[in-house]
């Protein structure tokens, strides 16, 4: 079988790129090992697909080269994708922090992308394993479970290792290594933390409780919800900080992100001085959580009036500087993104082409560009796919 352009990976970046190229008149075939197109799109955002964000900056991305993503993000912005969504009359809504979700279902986004592919007569070969790839300098030969495929141009859009249950594999990195393209070491990002057993035994009793916090390390902080689980800590704040966390490092949790000592916390204590600390704090934090803090000996089970001014300040400091050292993360099984990937040093930021193989391209999550939680990874998929498609005149 021969094809002008072969795309490996029928995820967000691969499908979008295929539609753009097909509509330019190119013969495009997309290969994927799964049964279903856009599997990660379909399950994202609780099935509603957080397809982009109203505010997209290069600072929302993690990469060994923080400037690499700027070109693609500038050439195809969130507004460009929103315009496409509007053309298909897909209803959507904004959540906190500029996140955009489908009103109905993530299937709306997949259907839109497939219709764009149909306009360009794109062919899909699903349940096809790519086993090896060779190059003769002019084109590529793909050894697949369906036989040999010859193509002039090859686009790798295989995603990362996150969510292996969806069929994600390391094939993209193996292809890069086959052509001596450096790969930045990969690890799970946007992933819940696990905890050491003594602390987990106590905190797991809070499973299901969420509280607004500001969580930080020495490099960055995020102000969002924290969710206690039976395995450890999750929620948006934890997922965000996990991408910046190094093994063995502690994180600091501010349990009172919107309360200052002088204007808020001190008056609260004054108004409830005859109550126990537990009952007083129950006005601003879940009572079950306060009981856990008492069990952990972080706060005392005494009345407010027993605290002098220094002890009041100490209590506030305890609640705003709770230090925890995670045991680790839940890994790729629940991670929403893979950090690291194909080195941007090897790629053109304008076309996503490999500098040493101008007809070989890498787009989407397989590249060493990872976004924050909130639609940023999908926007990178759209933007990098567009940049690649524009390389074909």
On whether both 20 and 151 belong to a single domain, the answer is yes
Q: Average pLDDT of 79-84?
A: 98
Q: Does 139 share its domain with 284?
A: no
Q: Cα 297 vs. chain centroid, distance in angstroms? A: 35
In whole angstroms, how large is the CA radius of gyration of the chain? 24
The pTM (predicted TM-score) of the whole model is 0.95
Whether residue 357 sits in one domain with residue 257: no
d(CA 101, CA 92): 5
Q: What share of the chain is helix, strand, coil (3-state, %, to 5)?
A: 35, 25, 35
Based on the domain organization, do 24 and 94 belong to the same domain?
yes
pLDDT value at residue 156: 98
What's the pLDDT score for residue 19? 98
| 23 and 147 assigned to the same domain | yes
Total count of domains within the chain: 2
Work out the pLDDT band at 161, boundaries 50, 70, 90: confident
Q: Shortest CA distance to 75 belongs to which of 351, 376, 356, 353?
A: 351
Enter the tokens of residue 192.
């819940």
pLDDT of residue 340: 98
- The domain boundary residue, chosen from 329, 360, 379: 329
Q: How far is Cα 229 from Cα 245, in angstroms, rounded to an integer?
A: 19
The per-residue pLDDT for 274 is 95
The CATH code of the domain that includes 179 is 3.50.50.60
Q: By the 8 A CB rule, do 155 and 129 touch? A: no
31 and 174 share a domain? yes
Q: Over the stretch 50-63, which tens digit does the pLDDT of each residue have? A: 999 999 999 999 99
Q: Give the C-alpha separation, 152 to 117, whole Å.
A: 20
Dump pLDDT digits (tens) for 84-118. Answer: 999 999 999 999 999 999 999 999 999 999 999 99
Helix or strand (DSSP H, E) at 39: helix 39-43
- Domain of 47 in residue numbering reads as 2-187+338-390
153 and 24 within one domain: yes
Separation CA 52–CA 55 (nearest Å)? 9
What is the helix (H) or strand (E) element at residue 19, kind and residue range?
Answer: helix 12-22
Tens digit of each residue's pLDDT (9 = 90 or more) over 246-302 = 999 999 999 999 999 999 999 999 999 999 999 999 999 999 999 999 999 999 999
Domain co-membership, 146 together with 131: yes
Q: Are residues 325 and 345 in the same domain?
A: no
Give the tens place of pLDDT for each residue, 193-247.
Answer: 999 999 999 999 999 999 999 999 999 999 999 999 999 999 999 999 999 999 9
Q: Would you give the DSSP letter of residue 205?
A: G
Asked if 114 and 60 sit in the same domain, the reply is yes
CB-based contact 191:235 (threshold 8 Å): no
Instruction: Categorize the per-residue pLDDT at 1 as very low, low, confident or very high, splitting at 50, 70 and 90.
Output: low
pLDDT at residue 162, as a whole number: 86
Which of 381, 383, 364 is closest to 79 using CA atoms?
383
pLDDT confidence of residue 201: 96
Residue-level pLDDT at 169: 80
- 145 and 165 together in one domain: yes
Mean pLDDT to the nearest integer, 135-162: 92
pLDDT of residue 387: 98
Domain match, 206 and 304 both = yes
Judge whether 128 and 33 are in contact, CB under 8 Å: yes
Q: Decide if 189 contacts 335 (C-beta within 8 A).
A: yes
């Amino acid at each position: 079988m021969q094809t002008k352009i072969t795309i490996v990976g029928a995820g967000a970046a691969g499908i979008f790129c295929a539609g753009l190229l097909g509509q330019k008149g190119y013969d495009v075939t997309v290969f994927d090992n799964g049964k279903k197109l856009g599997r990660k799109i379909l399950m994202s955002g609780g099935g509603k697909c957080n397809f982009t964000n109203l505010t997209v900056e290069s600072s929302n991305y993690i990469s060994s080269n923080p400037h690499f993503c700027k070109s693609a993000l500038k050439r195809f912005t969130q507004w460009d994708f929103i315009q496409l969504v509007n053309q298909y009359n897909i209803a959507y809504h904004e959540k906190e922090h500029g996140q955009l979700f489908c009103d109905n279902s993530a299937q709306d986004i997949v259907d839109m992308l497939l219709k764009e592919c149909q306009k360009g007569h794109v062919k899909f070969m699903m349940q096809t394993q790519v086993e090896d790839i060779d190059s003769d300098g002019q084109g590529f030969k793909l050894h697949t479970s369906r036989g040999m495929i010859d193509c002039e141009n090859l686009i790798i859009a295989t995603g990362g290792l996150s969510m292996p249950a969806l069929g994600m594999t390391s094939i993209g990195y193996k292809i890069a290594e086959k052509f001596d393209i450096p790969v930045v070491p990969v690890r799970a990002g946007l992933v819940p933390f696990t905890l050491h057993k003594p602390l987990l035994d106590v905190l797991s009793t809070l499973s299901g409780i969420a509280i607004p916090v500001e969580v930080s390390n020495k490099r960055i902080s995020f102000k969002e919800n924290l969710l206690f689980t039976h395995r450890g800590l999750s929620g948006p704040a934890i997922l965000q900080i996990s991408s910046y966390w190094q093994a063995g490092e502690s994180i600091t949790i501010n349990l009172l992100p919107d309360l200052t000592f002088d204007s808020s916390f001190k008056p609260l204590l004054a108004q409830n001085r005859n109550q126990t600390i537990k009952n007083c704090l129950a006005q601003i934090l879940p009572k079950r959580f306060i009981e856990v803090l008492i069990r952990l000996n972080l706060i005392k089970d005494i009345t407010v009036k027993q605290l002098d001014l220094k002890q009041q300040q100490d209590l506030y400091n305890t609640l705003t500087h709770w230090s925890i050292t995670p045991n680790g993360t839940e890994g790729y099984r629940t991670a929403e993104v893979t950090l690291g990937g194909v080195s941007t040093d090897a790629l053109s930021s304008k076309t996503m082409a490999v500098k040493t193989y101008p007809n070989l391209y890498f787009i989407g999550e397989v590249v060493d560009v990872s976004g924050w939680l909130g639609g940023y990874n999908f926007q990178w998929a759209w933007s990098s796919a567009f940049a690649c498609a524009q390389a074909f005149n």
